[in-house]
Structure 1
Amino acid sequence: MERYYIEVPESALDSMMYDLWDHNYVNAKLKTATNKLSVKLALRGNQLREHKKKSYHIIFDKPFLFQGQHEIHLNAEYNDPSIIRNKLSFDFFKSIGVLAPASKHVLLYINGIFEGIYLILESFDQYYLQNHSLPKGTIYYATNNDANFSLYTPEKELKSSLEDGYTKKVDFQKDDSLKKLLIAINTFPQEKFRVEINTILDVQKYLKWLTGVVCVQNFDGFIHNYALYQNSDTGLFEITPWDYDGSWGRDLHGRYLEYDYIPIEGYNSLTARLLDCSYFKNLYGSILDEILQKQFTQQYLEPIIEEILQSIRPFIHKDPYLKHKEINLNEEKDFILRYIHERNNYLRNSLSSFMQ
């Protein structure tokens, strides 16, 4: 497994750990087997900052790009007993035709001290588009739960702005396309919505994304853990997942989540409007049925799970933050496979009544 070595002044590191909610970046060096780079380093996440094992955000300074990326995320995966749920989720999304960040596990050292196994997540930005030969486009991050495609917050309060919950990551077209999408969702009558939404959103790709979230059961994924990308060639919005450690039968705290916790329809205003149209409902049903038969099965996913686990098995008990926890990767693999079986059966049974 690749090793990443970060060198940062002890005073700067102490300051980061003392004030967990300081969003300032410090100067640091990053060494790999073949490179030495100047970077900016900061803690990342919300509740992640309070874990013993921290997660980090790295911005490359000199050189400006490293392996085609300007920034990466180093996730501790501290609450996931398998440390693979994020990666497994993104690999699964890619297999069903949804844009998703690349990810890989590395061994992280800070000032010579082994910090354990980390997951590197590719940032979803203009460099992601370049690396994956995608057209340029505007990118929005869903930065909090107000990104629910509604005029109202999840607490049923009227939003102060249509774009509450979103942060523009890449400003390419400089127009009001996001507002246009949100207005269509929240104000158009059904027939007008059915026609016009096809001129704003890549509906088929959205329904594939919806299928992915429903299968892996990431509760926050419907109103938070995603980004919107407006493809400049088509003019249509596409959607990509983000932060999926709470999935595959566990919540974001690592606790057991019943296989039938999330219904087949998922949650958010855009999904509700789409599934209220018989054409889109039937399209979703056919997409979900195909994926339940092909990719979301034990047969398809078990070798993928085993390949990821094989890469981390030799190091799991060397991780200083995990070695005192009860971690049995074989048991966790069985847990995930059992979840896939139970969730698949639940969705198959739900699908027959859903399509009536």
Structure 2
Amino acid sequence: MDNGMKIPEYQLFIHPLDLRELRNDIWCDDPVAAKLTLNKKKYDIDIAYRGSHIRDFRKKSYHVSFYKPSTYRNAKEVHINAEYKDPSLLRNKLSLDFFNEIGCLSPKSRFVFLKLNGKNEGLYLELESVDEFFLANRQLPKGPIFYAVDGDANFSLMSDLDKEVKKSLEFGYEKKIGTAQDEYNLQEMIIKINTISREEFEREIVKYLNVDKYLRWLAGVVFTQNFDGFVHNYALYQNGDTGLFEVIPWDYDATWGRDVNGEVMDEDYLRIEGFNTLTARILDVKTFRGQYKNLLKGILSNQFNLEYMKPKIQGMHDLIRPYIQKDSYVKDNIHIFDKEPDYIFDYIEARANYISNRLDTLD
């Protein structure tokens, strides 16, 4: 827990001409050069806006690549998220920490306060990039990583976007690390998910997928209620030793009782069985369904309850509150920010009840 610590300050300098260029076309992914001072150390960086719909928001999110020196805290790049539609600014970090606590690979994150050309830009969430450094920092075997970037990353032969057969099984994914052979392996897994017979599925799928890790990820999506999480908002990592794929969560601000616009999302919005072709096929197997049920019960007892979550949420809220008061984008809504912990507590109780009451449907 970060409580008691000061939030690090990013002092960012972008030449006015480069800043104008950055702002002229918010959809351009080409970075501009900038300088960043952190803990009195200077870094030469490349910086660009990040995200899709979030680029339209007043408070921008950034992708930072370290150029000289080439790494910072054992990373070559980080994402700086504005969390603009989340009135608590807590949900993304809360979710990613939660995934880690229930046994999933999950990016680390921390709050930072950004100054741009000497002016307060506000409170941000620094997110670890899912790349070769992510693996090395956890002493994990090397392996390919694919980002799920749109609704075609639904583990199906059919597109989620136009409801037609996909022209390529690579659609929906962006290769972060890997070779042409790795792309072939990903396509082979998707074919197998869709073509292994029902009788053979339990025996065969474990040759391609780490089922235990998948069920933990599924549980994380279901508890946090990230409706988009089944077809994008994730990365796939193929463990170089086992050859098995694992799912890594990403972009989890539309969670804990609020949707992508920060509006109320009722606790019964997302069904306990989740969505997507792979989830449906896994939960069709009695053994896996029993494993999933036991996992949900364990998480309800150990992590997804007020006794466990309340001090984390309150501690995070107390840590960032003084910085919210210095953030011109959100400080006028501090009265809403102050109500958010109670809102999240209510969500946890209601969602826990909803899931508890439906555990028997997994028998």
From 203, 206, 225, give the equivalent of 1:198.
206
What amino acid sits opposite 1:156 in the alignment? K
What amino acid sits opposite 2:40 in the alignment? T
- Please list the CA deviations of residues 195-227 of structure 1 after superposition, one character each: whole Å capped at 9, or x if unmatched: 111011000010000000000001111110000
Aligned to 1:130: 136
- Give secondary structure in 2 for the equivalent of 1:133: coil
From 181, 202, 222, give the equivalent of 1:174.
181
The answer for unaligned runs of 5 or more in structure 2 is 1-6
- Give the deviation of 1:162 after TM superposition: 1.1
Aligned to 1:97: 103
What amino acid sits opposite 2:95 in the alignment? S
- Please list the CA deviations of residues 49-85 of structure 1 after superposition, one character each: whole Å capped at 9, or x if unmatched: 1100000000011111111000000000000000010
Aligned to 2:348: 340
8 Å CA contact retained: 1:137, 1:173: no
Aligned to 1:156: 163
Aligned to 1:293: 301
Aligned to 1:80: 86
Q: Does 2:330 correspond to 1:322?
A: yes
Aligned to 1:2: 8
8 Å CA contact retained: 2:325, 2:334: no
- Give the deviation of 1:34 after TM superposition: 3.1
- Give secondary structure in 1 for the equivalent of 2:199: helix
8 Å CA contact retained: 2:324, 2:334: no
8 Å CA contact retained: 2:306, 2:349: yes
What amino acid sits opposite 1:355 in the alignment? L
Q: Does 2:24 correspond to 1:29?
A: no
What amino acid sits opposite 2:230 in the alignment? F
Aligned to 2:52: 46
The answer for unaligned runs of 5 or more in structure 1 is none
From 249, 252, 261, give the equivalent of 2:269.
261
- Give the deviation of 1:47 after TM superposition: 1.0
Cα distance in structure 1, aligned partners of 2:229 and 2:122: 27
CA RMSD of aligned residues (A): 1.1
| Deviates further, 72-81 or 177-186 | 177-186
Please give the TM-score of this superposition, normalised by the length of structure 2.
Answer: 0.96
- Give secondary structure in 2 for the equivalent of 1:177: helix
From 275, 297, 301, give the equivalent of 2:283.
275
- Give the deviation of 1:135 after TM superposition: 1.1
Aligned to 2:4: none
Compared CA separation, residues 181 and 327, structure 1 to 2 (3 A): farther
Cα distance in structure 2, aligned partners of 1:131 and 1:243: 20
Compared CA separation, residues 65 and 173, structure 1 to 2 (3 A): farther
8 Å CA contact retained: 1:137, 1:172: no
- Give secondary structure in 1 for the equivalent of 2:144: strand
Cα distance in structure 2, aligned partners of 1:60 and 1:89: 26
Cα distance in structure 1, aligned partners of 2:180 and 2:296: 33
8 Å CA contact retained: 1:5, 1:109: yes
8 Å CA contact retained: 2:66, 2:72: yes
- Give the deviation of 1:252 after TM superposition: 1.1
What amino acid sits opposite 1:350 in the alignment? R
- Give secondary structure in 2 for the equivalent of 1:272: helix
8 Å CA contact retained: 1:296, 1:340: yes
Cα distance in structure 1, aligned partners of 2:211 and 2:261: 32
- Give the deviation of 1:158 after TM superposition: 1.4
Cα distance in structure 2, aligned partners of 1:134 and 1:227: 15
Q: Does 2:138 correspond to 1:108?
A: no
- Give the deviation of 1:311 after TM superposition: 1.3
- Give the deviation of 1:160 after TM superposition: 1.0
- Give the deviation of 1:18 after TM superposition: 1.7
Please give the TM-score of this superposition, normalised by the length of structure 1.
Answer: 0.98
Cα distance in structure 1, aligned partners of 2:55 and 2:188: 36
- Give the deviation of 1:174 after TM superposition: 3.1
What amino acid sits opposite 2:358 in the alignment? S
- Please list the CA deviations of residues 147-177 of structure 1 after superposition, one character each: whole Å capped at 9, or x if unmatched: 0001111241211111210111011683322
8 Å CA contact retained: 1:218, 1:247: yes
- Please list the CA deviations of residues 83-123 of structure 1 after superposition, one character each: whole Å capped at 9, or x if unmatched: 01000001101110001000000100111111000000000
- Give secondary structure in 2 for the equivalent of 1:255: coil
From 64, 67, 72, give the equivalent of 1:61.
67
What amino acid sits opposite 1:274 in the alignment? I
- Give secondary structure in 2 for the equivalent of 1:190: coil
- Give the deviation of 1:274 after TM superposition: 0.3
Aligned residues: 355
8 Å CA contact retained: 1:4, 1:106: yes
| Deviates further, 123-132 or 302-311 | 302-311
Cα distance in structure 1, aligned partners of 2:22 and 2:41: 25
- Give secondary structure in 1 for the equivalent of 2:206: helix
